[in-house]
């Protein structure tokens, strides 16, 4: 586990733009994390759960037929094989262990695609904590199976009806709950966003993805990948993947955002790619979709997990410094990659990493790719069918 200083700022980005009520809780969380990450009792328990319970290390899979299509080896980091079906459990287990350590018996979470909500509900069931999940009604509609899973796991799901009724509003509702219940509740944020120390905390809990993948590909190929590619909503799987490769200057880091209906439309979720003035959303200064007056705009993506107008502050810093580049893939192209990976490899990916897959397929000029397959696509079947306007699988 990292023992470097817990960053409050990444270049100009980050910070703690929150109501005063939460400031002592953020300090308490930072102090708890500072201690816990150096405490073998904590790290051993987390490692044991990540192994025996969650299924780590996840495999690194050489996707042979995808490799044939692009003309070079493509490896998939199989976070879809984690317990609960996505990388989100890495963070949820760590934060819920931390909540228990701080004596907070109630955990608040937000969710977009439902994957973080399910992961938080799972970790809370395991650790005997109360779990409250905020989810926009639009996401509840398009991710119904995950809502049923959270219910089964004993979590209370609160429907959020404000704004576009998606992830942004769910985060806001979760923060408001935390303001009211800060003394007995921990807010387990699901992505590398929010006020310090969350972006650093979530990255450190997710960097296991990149650390494993880096060692695995070195063992298999005897070299580092030319490109590391991951989707970016808030950016937790991508920052966890990228972090392990910061010092490897020869490795290109590519973050793939949601271009939705196109970057030239207003309906996308690509604040890093679109550029523009940074802004404050959910407690940190970062890339954000906003209007002239600083009102935060609604994002759009077919994938609920990328349907967010902000991005983690460390990504904005990586973009500005040139260490990572950010690109965007449309709904239509992500749907295409969703279908292609299913047919080529027998792996149904979540719509979120389908964005990363599409970019790799469409930009084949490389020698060796590593893609984070951050989650599986079972949750997306109804959404995909609706988008295709049919009732069943398309004939070949």
Name the residues that contact other proteins, by CB under 8 A: 15-25, 162-163, 168, 172, 175-176, 179-183, 277, 279-283, 285, 290, 292-297
Q: Give the Å distances, CA to CA, from 223 to 57, 210, 213.
A: 20, 15, 12
Half-sphere CA count of 189, side-chain side, radius 13 A? 28
Instruction: Compare residues 153 and 173 and give the one whose CB is closer to other proteins.
Output: 173
- Judged by beta carbon, residue 31 or residue 382, the one nearer other proteins is 31
- Cα–Cα distance for residue pair 243/199, rounded to 1 Å: 12
Nearest distance in Å: CB 13, other proteins? 12
Q: Closer to other proteins by CB, 277 or 396: give it.
A: 277
4 or 293: whose CB is closer to other proteins? 293
CB closer to other proteins out of 263 and 280: 280
Shortest separation between residue 95's beta carbon and other proteins, angstroms? 20
Q: Is the dihedral of CA 280, 281, 284, 288 positive or negative?
A: negative
Q: Tell me the β-bridge partners of 106.
A: 130, 185
User: Looking at the annotation, which residues are catalytic?
Assistant: 88, 110, 374
Report the candidate in 297, 351, 388 with the shortest Cα–Cα distance to residue 139. 351
Q: How far is the CB of 165 from other proteins (least distance, A)?
A: 13
Q: Cβ 187 to other proteins, closest distance in Å?
A: 12
DSSP H or E segment with residue 131: strand 130-136
Report in angstroms how near the CB of residue 24 gets to other proteins at its nearest.
Answer: 5
In three-state secondary structure terms, 348 is coil
The CA-atom distances, in angstroms, between 222 and each of 215, 216, 218 are: 10, 9, 5
CA-to-CA dists, residue 385 to 140, 234, 339, 380, angstroms: 16, 25, 11, 9
As measured in angstroms, the least distance from the Cβ of 179 to other proteins is: 6
Q: Nearest CA to 191 among 42, 308, 325, 334?
A: 308
Q: Are 371 and 62 in contact (CB under 8 A)?
A: no
> Is the separation of the CB atoms in 299 and 260 below 8 Å?
yes
Considering beta carbons, is residue 177 or 331 the nearer one to other proteins? Answer: 177
């Amino acid at each position: 586990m990292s023992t470097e200083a817990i960053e409050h700022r990444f270049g100009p980005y980050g910070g703690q733009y929150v109501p005063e009520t939460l400031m002592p809780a953020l300090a308490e969380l930072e102090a708890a994390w500072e201690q816990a990450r150096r405490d073998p009792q904590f790290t051993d328990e987390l490692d044991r759960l990540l192994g025996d319970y969650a299924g780590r290390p996840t495999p690194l899979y050489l996707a042979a037929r995808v490799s044939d299509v692009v003309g070079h080896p493509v490896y998939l980091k199989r976070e879809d094989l984690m317990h609960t079906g996505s990388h989100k459990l890495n963070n949820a287990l760590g934060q819920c262990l931390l909540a228990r350590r701080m004596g907070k018996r109630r955990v608040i979470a937000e969710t977009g695609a439902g994957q973080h909500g399910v992961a938080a509900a799972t970790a809370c069931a395991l650790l005997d904590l109360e779990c409250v999940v905020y989810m926009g009604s639009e996401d509840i509609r398009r991710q119904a199976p995950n809502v049923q899973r959270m219910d089964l796991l004993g979590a209370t799901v609160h429907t959020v009806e404000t704004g576009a009724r998606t992830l942004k509003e769910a985060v806001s509702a979760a923060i408001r709950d935390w303001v009211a219940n800060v003394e007995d509740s921990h807010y387990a944020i699901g992505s590398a966003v929010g006020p310090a120390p969350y972006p650093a905390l979530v990255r450190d809990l997710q960097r296991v993805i990149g650390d494993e993948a880096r060692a695995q590909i070195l063992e298999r190929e005897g070299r580092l990948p030319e490109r590391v590619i991951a989707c970016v909503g808030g950016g937790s799987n991508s920052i966890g993947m990228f972090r392990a490769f910061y010092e490897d200057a020869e490795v290109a880091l590519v973050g793939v955002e949601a271009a939705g209906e196109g970057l030239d439309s207003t309906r996308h979720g690509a604040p890093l790619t679109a550029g523009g003035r940074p802004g404050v959303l959910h407690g940190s200064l970062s890339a954000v979709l906003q209007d002239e007056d600083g009102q935060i705009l609604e994002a759009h993506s077919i994938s609920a997990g990328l349907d967010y107008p902000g991005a983690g502050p460390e990504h904005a810093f990586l973009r500005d410094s040139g260490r990572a580049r950010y690109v965007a893939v449309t709904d239509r192209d992500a749907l295409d990659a969703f279908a292609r990976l299913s047919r080529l490899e027998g792996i149904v990916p979540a719509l979120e990493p389908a964005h990363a897959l599409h970019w790799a397929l469409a930009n084949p000029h490389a020698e060796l790719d590593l893609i984070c397959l951050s989650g599986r696509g079972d949750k997306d079947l109804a959404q995909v069918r609706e988008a295709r306007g049919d009732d069943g699988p398309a004939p070949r």
